[in-house]
Amino acid sequence: HLRDKITERLLAIDRTHYTQDRKDLIKAGAIQSFEELFKTSPDKERILAFVKEQLDCQSPKTRKIAKNFLDTYG
C-alpha cells in the first residue's frame, strides 16, 4: 500500500544525509503528514513512538507540533 510506503519513508528520516537540525525540521512536516495517515494506519504504535521522541528534539517548532499531535492522538 502507498500509505505504508509513505509511513516507512517518514519514519526513516534519521537515516538521511541531512544535518540534524534539518532532520528535526523535516520531522515537523512528517508529523503533520501523520495527521492525515494516523486514523487508518496499522503502524499507530510506531508513529506514536516517533512523535514522542520529537518532544526532546532541538527544534522548538517540531516539539510544539509533536505535543499537539500527542494531545490529539496520543
HEC per residue, 14-52: HHCCCCHHHHHHHHHHHHHHHHHHHHHCCCHHHHHHHHH
Q: What is the pLDDT of residues 10-46, one digit of tens each?
A: 999 999 999 999 999 999 999 999 999 999 999 999 9
Measuring CA to CA, which residue among 66, 64, 26, 28 is closest to residue 48?
A: 66
Average pLDDT value for the chain: 96
State residue 1's pLDDT score.
Answer: 85
